[in-house]
Structure 1
């Protein structure tokens, strides 16, 4: 059973995703604010650093944005030069450039931007200048991949690119065409705004807000129920679903708050607090320790109260399998990005190690954010990476404890 819960307060909108009663995703947005990732800006080049092959642009934010040379060269690998030119040959100080934010500002770092513009829709991602057609790796059926590529190719204009999303599997060609055309019109709107006289830097395109993004990206056939506790938000979501996914319209339901708040009924707040602790208990009595460093995030798996019933090897394997599932859940819940290292309990059996790794791969496939598992290292650790778009929610919903000088966390929601 998979549920999406939307709780609308006076100051913020919160979205929670539950799978079989367990919280797997959480996001919130203050009313009147927005995330930056996906927005497009007309910026001005302020600094060009040949040694870094990068430039810094003023896009109107507090800190200048970072642009690497790979985000200037053509997106299609076959069109890139065999040897990278000097960035000073491509950009000059004072130059005006249309860029898109791909990574939110984090700490002292400004936003990362690209000239590889893309606009996501429900079924695909439109890339107006990429000249490339792709299909989500999660669609494994070769005939379906070929169909989606042909459907996109027949509708694309010269120079355009398109990537079919996982949700596009089995979708009618005409619906794909409607999605593509709507995205193309939005890009045309961006170009018209850019041509208009105005100050530089300035924002020329804003990506959708939290609710619209979740309907577009997360509300699919595997969602059994979508509950909303606000009348206006319910009407807005019902309209969006009626247009983009009419077959799922009967799964959108309005929650009656007279019986208590939506999040309290489904124990969301309780799971949020337990899910952001340093020590996370597993269902079998084992536990995880989660530690953050500047370079990476570390998960340490322990048997805890679980003593097993057969032998030490089986006890370790059982705990590791449960831990692999919960670690994949916590990556989504906390939105952990970058390099991640997992110290599973030592196992002698190669078959058991393979089983644990396969379990981790299986569970991370549920993640909408791109990740890559490198596998076991020679020291018996598992390494993986997860795309980092914005600062992890550990930093957003918890703060450093002043009493212990920053070695602990205090829940601040």
Structure 2
């Protein structure tokens, strides 16, 4: 049975999705990092890039958004959309455009934008700026599927795209027209609002958090939702009633942390760790970079009771299932490289691919399993629409800048020595150096055995003071006479 726990009372919003009491999805949105996906803005073209068939758009965020030519209504509605026409024919610098965020900004990359503005309901999706009709492939009645396609084609305008969803299958044409009119009026309202504003401006902000909860509930007929916010509880209860869902919604009593009450906090904390242990004693190591994510599979404590190949295959099977779960929980996207333990039999590799495909099919984001490389690395891609959990919950280390490593005391001390040697021909009598204890120990040698040699080399007396902390660093404070330096230190 599916269960959701929604911690919405504080500024940081959190939702945990459990299936049969196992955590399957976790969404965390800090107050300063709310997703803007789905938000609609009046933007201004700041730069057109012919070489990339794209443009940068100022839509009010810190970084300009990226808009590809194929996402422009002016391109989509031309007769020739084979991709040969230059972007300069469809947009110009300084032009105002309605844009919608399709992917949040991540790392150094700005948000991905589209000019094809989309509004959606559970049964109908309306897209302005493209001539298109789509009908869900999940329709049980093929005749009705064709009928709805014809209905959509007859009632849409040339600059509109419509996607008829599965829940429309048994609805009447009157309901379809009512929802189409409502969505069309929403877009026309945005156009009127945009006409009275200067770019950049926010036109529509979507509550993506509540929408995510509703989307999750729509995937399952029944389930349980516990929420700690009264307004959200009322809104979600109303949605369940209107959509005739079998979800049981309750508001958590009292001031307690509902994540702690459900023993979720410990599981959330584990998602920030690099190592994930498997039930059979094997373990995974996660290394996330801006370019891609590497996952290493290790046998760990698992030795097995059968032949070596069967033992390694058993570890890889457990790893494949857990990796699919962790990727979804951590919201890892982009290129993912998985280094499974080498297997001698090719059929075992295919079985691992099948497991990964089966497990990632449960993911709401599109996942592609490419296959194994010659080196035995499984290549997977996952669509990126928002920052990963680690990007939301952590910042680069101010000491190592996210590399996980810092310069050794020797490296820093020898750099200081070279810098001091550059001043050996000046007339100053002394130099005041501030350095960490570890750097100072290397610079002057054990029990300051190198002090005399260093001072003779640079032709100056060295005065040292210490920088507190464990960071290996130094600063040359000043050069001057013995009296000036000693007086400055005192």
Place the TM-score, normalised by the shorter chain, in its bin. Answer: 0.7 to 0.9
3-state DSSP of counterpart to 1:224: strand
- Does residue 10 (structure 1) correspond to residue 7 (structure 2)? The answer is no
Segment of structure 1 superposing worse, 147-156 or 72-81: 72-81
3-state DSSP of counterpart to 2:246: helix
Quote how far apart the aligned CAs of 1:210 are.
0.8
Match of 1:358 in 2: 354
- Does residue 233 (structure 1) correspond to residue 232 (structure 2)? The answer is yes
TM-score, normalised to structure 2, is 0.74
- Does residue 286 (structure 1) correspond to residue 282 (structure 2)? The answer is yes
State the aligned residue count.
Answer: 400
Change (3 A) 1:31 1:238: farther
Quote how far apart the aligned CAs of 1:45 are.
1.2
- Does residue 253 (structure 1) correspond to residue 250 (structure 2)? The answer is yes
Pairing partner for 2:368 from 366, 372, 390: 372
1:211-266, CA deviations, whole angstroms, 9 ceiling, x for partnerless residues? 233213544326521111233322221012212x32324x22223347x5321232
User: Which ranges of structure 1 fall in alignment gaps of 5 or more residues?
Assistant: none
Match of 1:200 in 2: 199
Quote how far apart the aligned CAs of 1:319 are.
1.5
TM-score, normalised to structure 1, is 0.87
Structure 1: how far apart are the matches of 2:308 and 2:101?
A: 49
Segment of structure 1 superposing worse, 289-298 or 11-20: 11-20
Q: Is the 8 A contact 1:28 1:210 kept in 2?
A: no
Match of 1:390 in 2: 386
- Does residue 154 (structure 1) correspond to residue 128 (structure 2)? The answer is no
Match of 2:345 in 1: 349
Structure 2: how far apart are the matches of 1:150 and 1:363?
A: 35
Change (3 A) 1:75 1:246: farther
Structure 1: how far apart are the matches of 2:83 and 2:40?
A: 29
Structure 2: how far apart are the matches of 1:57 and 1:321?
A: 45
Match of 1:85 in 2: 85
Q: Which has the larger radius of gyration?
A: 2
Q: Is the 8 A contact 2:2 2:17 kept in 1?
A: yes
Structure 1: how far apart are the matches of 2:366 and 2:268?
A: 23
Change (3 A) 1:120 1:54: same
3-state DSSP of counterpart to 2:395: strand
Matches within 5 A, 1:171-190: 172-174=170-172, 180-190=180-190
Change (3 A) 1:282 1:299: same
Quote how far apart the aligned CAs of 1:341 are.
0.8
- Does residue 213 (structure 1) correspond to residue 212 (structure 2)? The answer is yes
Change (3 A) 1:80 1:213: farther
3-state DSSP of counterpart to 2:238: helix
Tell me: higher relative CO, structure 1 or 2? Use CA pairs within 8 A at least 6 residues apart. Answer: 1
Match of 1:309 in 2: 305
RMSD: 2.8
1:304-354, CA deviations, whole angstroms, 9 ceiling, x for partnerless residues? 111122111111222112111111111111111111111111112222222
User: Which ranges of structure 2 fall in alignment gaps of 5 or more residues?
Assistant: 406-490
Change (3 A) 1:365 1:231: same
